[in-house]
Structure 1
Amino acid sequence: MLRRLYDWTMSLAARKSAEVWLAVIAFVESSVFLVPADVLYLPMALARPDRAYRYALVATLASVLGGIAGWLLGYYAYETLAKPILEMYGKLDAFEQLRGSTSADAILLLLVTSGLAHLPPIKVVTILSGAAAINIWLFIASAIIARGARFFFLAWLLRRYGEPIRHFIEKRLGLIASAAAAVLILLYALFHYYV
């Protein structure tokens, strides 16, 4: 099933309506969808490097709006809507554990790491943020920074290095983003426990 979703998303990049689909995928990725917007963003930006930053802006805005939808889902409809979605993805147990033991600061850190590196999946953190009643304005600011940094950094790489960087990104982006997330977590821990 995941492979079919991935192939379908990739086929959207070739359509004239690709920019609209990018916005749709980025929006639903932040609240309920499995496939990250990157799989549509990357081929679009490679096909039209002159529009890489425009696509980054579309993906960022739509992703933040999707994150707000996820927050609202967690805040207003956790029991009726969010819980079944998390159960469907097999994330309910992990979510409940996070919800019960995580501070607001840690949830915001998770938002940044998931926005940059998809660790944990962004949809889980947006719903968690709403269920934990994280301040919506702080949530929005964090989402803009995290998602914007990801998409605009990819746009810069693609504009500067073109096709060769695509292969590097596709093979190592998870590792690079995970390393960046680990550094953020380490800095948070050092700041929180030693300062």
Structure 2
Amino acid sequence: MKIFSPLYARAMLWARHRHAPWYLGGLSFAESSFFPIPPDVMLAPMSLANPRRAMWFALLTTLTSVAGGLFGYLIGAYAFDAIEPWLRESRYWGAYEQAVAWFGEWGFWAVFVAGFSPIPYKVFTIAAGALSMALLPFTLASLVGRGARFFLVAGLMAWGGARMEAVLHRYIDRLGWATVAAVVLGVLVYRA
């Protein structure tokens, strides 16, 4: 059943849209402070669709993500009391508690690791503000961590270019169904 091929084709079409960089910047900003979808889902196809502009997309993603991280920092610093009840009820509370523990142990490196890894960066931006982390180290760790991640993604996609796009298009349905099966298996194992 070919469900993923049309979605892939549509994503690649959107990745070539003239307003796509604006959407990428908005998504990157929002994800760093409150939105759950990472910008990699736009950065990767945009870099694949237009390899010559991949480094520009990575820079745009990095800068808007750090700006969003600074907004998250402000939320933590000035509005934490307002969001804490919601945060406690959300799936992010455990990650927030982990972020607080990491800040106590590693400080700067906690932000760097969260910026580079798939750990919810937004939780660390809010925690950094709530714990009054010094703004300059926070910003530098964010720039380095987020930049490393986004330039790596864009670079890999640009390197693959048209060849990778063709291979993905050929195997996207198999990859999609394998991912669905892995998620279902993961949920079953987790519940067991």
Aligned partner of 1:89: which letter?
S
**Cα distance change of structure 1 residues 33 and 136 upon mapping to structure 2, 3 Å threshold:** same
**Misfit runs of 4+, over 6 Å:** none
Q: Cα distance, 1:17 vs. partner?
A: 1.0
- Report how many aligned residue pairs link the two structures: 158
Q: CA RMSD in A?
A: 2.6
**Cα distance change of structure 1 residues 146 and 103 upon mapping to structure 2, 3 Å threshold:** closer
Correspondence 1:143 to 2:148: no
Q: Deviations over 1:138-164 (max 9, x none)?
A: 100110001111111222222223253
Q: Is the 8 A contact 2:59 2:147 kept in 1?
A: yes
2:182 corresponds to: none
Correspondence 1:118 to 2:118: yes
Correspondence 1:129 to 2:131: no
Determine helix, strand or coil for the equivalent of 1:159. helix
**Cα distance change of structure 1 residues 97 and 151 upon mapping to structure 2, 3 Å threshold:** closer
Q: Deviations over 1:88-107 (max 9, x none)?
A: 632224424643x4445524
Correspondences of 1:166-177 after superposition (within 5 Å)? none
2:78 corresponds to: 76
1:92 corresponds to: 93
- Which entry has the higher C-alpha Rg, 1 or 2? 2
Aligned partner of 1:42: which letter?
A
Aligned partner of 1:150: which letter?
R
Higher relative contact order structure (alpha carbons within 8 Å, sequence separation ≥ 6): 2
Q: Matched residues, percent identical?
A: 34
Determine helix, strand or coil for the equivalent of 1:133. coil
Q: Is the 8 A contact 2:75 2:129 kept in 1?
A: yes
Q: Deviations over 1:91-129 (max 9, x none)?
A: 224424643x4445524222111211122x101011011
Q: Cα distance, 1:70 vs. partner?
A: 0.5
Q: Gapped runs of 5+ residues in structure 2? A: 1-6, 176-192
Q: Is the 8 A contact 1:28 1:66 kept in 2?
A: yes
Give the distance between the partners of 1:20 and 1:88, measured in 2 at CA: 32
Q: Is the 8 A contact 1:32 1:85 kept in 2?
A: no
